[in-house]
Structure formats: C-alpha cells, structure tokens
Structure 1
C-alpha cells in the first residue's frame, strides 16, 4: 500500500460575492481545466485539482492507494486582511471536506487557517476537526516571521490538545540575497530548514512534545545542519555521549536530533542518496511518501524511487503507509484504505 502524504487541491470556484481580494477561477476554452487568477498569479489548474473522480483515476494510474491533499500553497495568503483570510480559509475548507467526502478512504483532506491572525487561526482548529478535516496546512513562515515565534505557540498547543496534525509547507519569504529564479528551489530548502529549526530553538518542540507535525520536502536542508547543531549542544561527533567540556552551548534537555526525530518529513527530495541519508539520520519511521501532485508530475509509478531502493520490508511499510497513519492519528483510515486497496486489487 502507498499513501501520498503531499498532494494538493484547488477549489473549482469561489463565491460570486466574495471580497475582491479572493482568487477566482476562469474557464479555459475547449478544456475542462480552469485558470486560477489570484492577484498577479495566473495558474492553469488541471481538472484533477478539483474533481474527485479525476483524482481517483490519477491515483489508480500511478498505483497510489490514497492521498493526503492540502490547499495549493499560493492560497496561503497571509497578507490578506484577517477577516478576508478567515473567509477564504473557510471556503477552501468547505471545498476540501466536500472533495474528501466522495472517497474518504482515498482522499484525506487538510484545511487552512489565517495565520496572520494567530488567535483566529487557533480558534478555527476545533471547527475544522468537527468538519471532518484530517489536519491543517500552514506555511513555513508567516509574513517573514518564523513559525517558532512565541506568538504562534498557542496555535500549536491547541493543535496538540485537539490531537490535530499539522503540515508545514515550505514557502518563500522576502530575500534579496538570491535571484528570483531561486525562489522555488534553494529558497524553499532554506525555508523548510528555518521552519523546523525555529520550532526546536524557539521552544515549541519542548512545549508541545505530543504535537504531530510534518514538513514538506524533508524540511529542506535541516538534516545536513542537525549534526552541527548536535555538536554545539553536546560537544561530541557522530552522536556519541555528550562531552560537556567541548560543548559550545551546553544543554541538559533533549538534543536537536532528538527533537527532530519527533517530526515527520515527506521524502520528496529527488534523489535516493538523500533518502538513504534521511533514513540513517532520522529513521525510516519519520519519512512519508510525497509528490506535490498535481502541481508537479508524479513519478510513474508513484514513489518509484522508493520502490526501487529495495528497502527492508519494515522500512518500506513504514514509509509507504504506516507513518502517514501515525502522523494523522488515523488507524481507522488505515483499516479502510487497506480494505479498499484489497478490493481494487481483487477487481483487476
């Protein structure tokens, strides 16, 4: 069984009386696709973004049993007025719940909240869970503020209290040290690292030990920085016992690596050598399948690189599906997906 934990949705339409700052979808001549218009953005959205039947067909074609779908990241517009951001989030969440209802064992939907207003975002979580959404997606920074900033701590505490998973999607922030061509590549990697590191350094990870949180694209460059962080914490190489005389910043609490091993990471890193390093450093029990589909083309078949790595059975089972059910806290979903997968296999 394979569950793609990083895929995206877009609503098909928006209310006619929506605020002018909302996106809208325009028809494309002689096509079932639609054009997303959001400020300066013009994005041709394939039908699979918003039609449940097309999503299921696409999963079948790629040999994927289920997807965790989250709002397309450009919808996370934290620059909107707070009231408009909340209205947009509720519209997207309604659509996400409706999309999932067509095939709940195969389309698992996350929603969004207006993080520009931390109090409103926190208050919205309970309603999202009641609505049947499986978790919440947030960006890696909020108008340039790291998610580990103390002003966001109540949000994460409430997510932990509600047992509601969080998905952090890397998003560019204002940066003038790299050209614009780096926004979707290097900057996304930097942003993922900043987001995860800020939760460790800012105290959120310590304050929320039971928070279930996942990072897109393995939190960018985090894994390469963790051994150095561990040395500064404990003064030893290779995660050997701490040598406090060598430690630059002695700390008797959990090490940076121990904190990082509480998080989940999708393994969409484009290279089997990187995946092997992530398994070795963080553990196979921390990794998820991810594709960014349909914003990006999925490997064919889905998770092809992982399939070809000939991982031990337990590691493959963890990465391909068990970890995503642990992150979501949805054993019931796992049972339903297994049954649905067996039925599909028998029907072939």
Structure 2
C-alpha cells in the first residue's frame, strides 16, 4: 500500500514522498476513498425480463424525468470501464492520489422489488462479484455487499454471506418499499451488524418525492440529500442507535441535509413529547456515533459537517466514477481549509482505523 503525499500547502510536518514528518519513522497514513462503486453485469442479467423490472424502471423514469434519463444513459456507458475494470480503476485512483477504495455495488443493483428467492441471488452475486473484483488488488481495494431491505428476514443472512466473502459489510438504501429504517423488523440486522463490527454504507437510490423532482436532475441534487436526512432521522429518533451503539454506519453525501440542520431536530426533541419519545439524547449527539463521507460539493458545508459531527467522523468520499462525484476528492477536501490534523484524519486516518487497514 503506497501512501500519496499531501497536497502542497496542506502538510506542516514530515510527510511521505520526501517531505519532513512530525513523526519520523511512522507509517504514512494512506488516502482512503470510502465512496466508490462497481457495476455488476451478472446482477442485471439475473433480473432481466423478470416480472416487476419493467414497473421498477417506469417508476425510476417518472422520478427522474426524460431529460435526466437522456443524460444518464450515455454517462453510465462512458464510465463503465472504470466501474468494471480493475486496472482502469487503479489508474484513476493513482491520478486522484487515492491509495485505497472501499468499493460498493452501484445502488442501481438494489432491486428492492424482487421476491425473496431472487433477492437472495442478487445479494449473493453482488457480494461474490465485489469480492472477486477487490481480490485483484487486495492491497488497494476493500469491498461491501448488499442486503435485501425489502425482505428483512434475509438481511442477516446476506450480511453474513458478504462477511464470509471477505467483504467488510454491506451497502443499504434509505428505505425499502413500505419500510423505513426504524421498522422493528430490522432489529436482528442492526444487532448482527453491531455484533460483527460490519460496515454499513447508507446510500440512497431514488427519492419518494417522485414527479416533484422530475426536472433539472432534482431527483438527485435535492432527492439524495433528502433521503439521507430522512433515513438518519429514523435511525436516531426511533432509538436504533441507543439500542445498538456499536453500529459502524457511514452515511453517503455527508448525511444529506441533516448534520447542518440538526438544530431543528434538537429543538423538536426538547419542545415536543412526540419528537422526544423514541431516543434518549438530543439528536445532534448521535452524529458523533455515525460516520459521514466528505461528498458535499461545497467547502463551507464540509467545514460545517466536521464541526457538527467532529472531524474524526468524516471520511473522504468521491462517488467514483459517476458524474455526481468528485474527480479530485483530495482537492475538494483541501478547499475546506481544515486544520492540518483534521485534513489528514479525513483524508485517510479515520477510514484506516474504521476499515482496520493498519
């Protein structure tokens, strides 16, 4: 594992690549991107032609609108080599100055419309394909599988299978049809994840505001942060994080709108009996039990995120290789002008500890 030197004007002490270091002889901290995706053709081949796929695609089309779909199709085709070929992935990582990626299946592979048998096959294929992809560069790639949130009884089994493949955990969406993350049916899943120390990566796919967001790619720009905020609020206000304090959950997109607007949640928790009934502490306190990626596209928001959650709870994320990602995630982090220690913690120190790279 090669650690890339920090950007000019950031580091202040001995660094890798010939720079002096405040901790001479210490192993350099790798740069770690926790938000990177894999496209898996085997999963799409499995579901092709099944009852329910056409309806799911019609819903996605309504939610995104024709103009967005016309852009997204060519974009996905253009990034397909980076999203499937290990050598192209590694070359792109080198260009970005990224040492390690945590690779998760594209959220388009969730297929939460499938029946129990198909859902199990989807998750097994996704886990095995991700493990095989990462095994081609084991010093640079770590991976996550999927869990079928539409069938809560299967979620523990999918998590266990992913861990058996050598993956670090699973990726989940912000909800499943008819179920929020506060649903009691998920209790065994949260318990198993906490018990095993598995990583859960919360990454929404789609937004239930539907046609209200079907222009100008609002389905993503507004919808994804909204879904993050709703999902995290369900976990907090329902007491999931009280019952399972050892959960190791990373929220994509900086947790959406919630971390920077958490004061409203705190006020409701203290002012209203219905808002404060489910969790033991003010909602803002739970931010320090969660992890957040840095993909917020605004240096001021990134600074606010580190202030709200703590710099030790923020991890570098790029959404590689899609167009809503950051082509230069380290540069985006540098633009936030964090204190030197916080910069290096977010750049890789926090993730190296969480993913147990060292």
Taking structure 1 as the reference length, the TM-score comes to 0.81
- Give the 3 Å change call, closer, same or farther, for CA 229–91 of structure 1 in structure 2: same
2:289 counterpart SS class:
coil
In the alignment, what sits opposite 1:11? 40
| Structure with the larger helix share | 2
1:178 counterpart SS class:
helix
The answer on 1:142 being equivalent to 2:176 is yes
1:115 counterpart SS class:
coil
In the alignment, what sits opposite 2:26? none
1:46 counterpart SS class:
helix
In the alignment, what sits opposite 1:271? 298
In the alignment, what sits opposite 2:351? 324
In the alignment, what sits opposite 2:236? 200
In the alignment, what sits opposite 2:112? 78
Shift of 1:173: 3.4
1:206 counterpart SS class:
helix
User: What is the CA–CA distance in structure 2 between the aligned matches of 1:15 and 1:172, rounded to whole Å?
Assistant: 18
For structure 2, the 5+ residue unaligned runs are: 1-29, 51-55, 59-68
User: What is the CA–CA distance in structure 1 between the aligned matches of 2:311 and 2:188, rounded to whole Å?
Assistant: 30
User: What is the CA–CA distance in structure 2 between the aligned matches of 1:191 and 1:171, rounded to whole Å?
Assistant: 8
- Give the 3 Å change call, closer, same or farther, for CA 21–158 of structure 1 in structure 2: farther
User: What is the CA–CA distance in structure 1 between the aligned matches of 2:44 and 2:259, rounded to whole Å?
Assistant: 43
- Give the 3 Å change call, closer, same or farther, for CA 13–124 of structure 1 in structure 2: closer
In the alignment, what sits opposite 1:59? 93
User: What is the CA–CA distance in structure 2 between the aligned matches of 1:255 and 1:69, rounded to whole Å?
Assistant: 33
Greater mean deviation of Cα atoms: 226-235 or 67-76: 226-235
Q: 5 Å matches for 1:243-254?
A: 253-254=280-281
Q: 5 Å matches for 1:183-332?
A: 183-234=219-270, 253-296=280-323, 299-328=326-355, 330=356
Q: 1:141, 1:173 within 8 Å by CA — same for their partners in 2?
A: no
Q: 5 Å matches for 1:162-201?
A: 162-176=196-210, 178-181=212-215, 182-201=218-237
Q: 5 Å matches for 1:95-134?
A: 95-134=129-168
- Give the 3 Å change call, closer, same or farther, for CA 177–50 of structure 1 in structure 2: closer
User: What is the CA–CA distance in structure 2 between the aligned matches of 1:127 and 1:255, rounded to whole Å?
Assistant: 36
Cα displacement string for residues 278-325 of structure 1 (whole angstroms, at most 9, x for unaligned residues): 111211111111111112265454321212333222211211112213
Shift of 1:13: 4.2
In the alignment, what sits opposite 1:239? none
Cα displacement string for residues 203-257 of structure 1 (whole angstroms, at most 9, x for unaligned residues): 211110000001010121102331122223346xxxxxxxxxx999667932211
Cα displacement string for residues 39-65 of structure 1 (whole angstroms, at most 9, x for unaligned residues): 578542521111111111110111111
Q: 2:39, 2:80 within 8 Å by CA — same for their partners in 1?
A: no
User: What is the CA–CA distance in structure 1 between the aligned matches of 2:39 and 2:210, rounded to whole Å?
Assistant: 30
The answer on 1:87 being equivalent to 2:121 is yes
| Structure with the larger strand share | 1
User: What is the CA–CA distance in structure 2 between the aligned matches of 1:198 and 1:283, rounded to whole Å?
Assistant: 21
User: What is the CA–CA distance in structure 1 between the aligned matches of 2:178 and 2:222, rounded to whole Å?
Assistant: 17
- Give the 3 Å change call, closer, same or farther, for CA 153–214 of structure 1 in structure 2: same
Taking structure 2 as the reference length, the TM-score comes to 0.79
Shift of 1:137: 0.1
Count of aligned pairs:
305
